[in-house]
Amino acid sequence: MTSLLSHSYRDGSAPEKSVAPEIRPALEPQLVRVASVPASSVYVRHISPIDGDVAQPGGSAAASRDGGVRVTRLPDPDDPVRSAQQRWWPPTMFEAEWVRAHADDFDVFHLHFGFDARTPEQLRDLVEELRRLGKPLVYTAHDLRNPHHQSPVEHNAQLDVLVPAADAIVTLTDGAAYEIKRRWARRAIVLPHPHVVDFETMRRVQRARLDGRHDRDDAEFRIGLHLKSLRANMNPVPVVGALLDTIEALPNAVLQIDGHRDLLEPTGLRYDEGLADLLHEAADACRIDLRIHDSFDDEHLWEYLASLDLSVLPYRFGTHSGWLEACRDLGTPVLAPTCGYYRDQAPVMLYLHDDDGLDADSLGCAVARAYYDRPSFSITVDERRRQREAVSDAHAALYRDLLR
């Protein structure tokens, strides 16, 4: 387990390094072209320098504070065969044929998300092609348990290809790094998750929270549980039951439950009749504020999260969470389960919930503590800016070292 810039490569030869990247004078910064998969995700955009977000035609380039490196990331490939909505998902860059055809366009291949539909054999073809061409592979292990899969077997088989083959491994928390070391005897660079919400919105929402502070004795306390389209790692029914029992003893507490139309309307492809009946019955009895809608765009998601006093993550397994980071950006406290590494990722409140089930008492106690203590786990815009600069510099230095 290594933090920030400390790391080892596949041959284990590189010694640990200090947190701050080495500053070296250079007349002409080294240009490193990175095939990030996928390039358009907010995480990938925000590990780039602040003045160098990705997703412009032809990629983007921005000098990091490491004066010897300038990183440019390739844009997600346009695929004329796919619709506009599907043009980069699943990512074309995962195909060994794409790597062969574009070998002259990139120096480093950095894999993040999107390999759910790739078999271990297909991933093996990819890493073997990268190795044949002499292209370093960086893998950021966001998920050590896929939140979309009921069983870990398929994802484990994929990781058994990627983790041993990667020239460098990045992850988000010390806990995940320890698991990687235990399972594969590999060291991972630990780099924190950067901000999710844009700085302007962060500043506006945080200022509004400060301006809106008042006597909370009779103020509404809004608890949010968002079921989205019910990923495999969600366990909503016992969580809803425990929350309903808890708020009965909390004056002015409101439980808002959101879900997508495909989950809670009879015509939806993922319609869950039992869950829908439970929620409608609670809503008819005025026990919950039920809201059914399509997936939020960013603007409406930030508005929703900013309206909450507590966001509950109903997960029974998982690893890390971008939702958690967005809440942190907006000053919304998070109640997270004990599974995964959410507690390592950022300050959160905890309740006991994993593959073995939910401890309803721990959930109720945590919600009551949040209600009475009104904790604040927000992070300032300045802190997020400094963090992003450090993470961007660390990636630039990693790419530079792999190409030496």
pTM of the full structure: 0.88
Among 236, 142, 124, 253, residue whose Cα is nearest residue 188: 142
Quick: pLDDT tens for 211-254.
776 555 568 999 999 999 999 999 999 999 999 999 999 999 99
Q: Mean pLDDT for each 10-residue chunk of the chain (404 residues)?
A: 46 43 59 93 94 45 60 82 52 92 97 94 97 98 97 98 98 98 98 98 93 66 97 96 97 98 96 97 98 97 98 98 98 98 98 97 98 93 97 96 94
Quick: pLDDT tens for 16-55.
433 444 545 545 678 999 999 998 899 999 999 997 543 3
At residue 52, the pLDDT reads 57
At residue 4, the pLDDT reads 47
At residue 20, the pLDDT reads 47
β-strand partners of 70: 31, 63
At residue 219, the pLDDT reads 83
At residue 404, the pLDDT reads 87
β-strand partners of 299: none
At residue 210, the pLDDT reads 83
Let me know: does 145 contact 337? Beta carbons within 8 Å: no
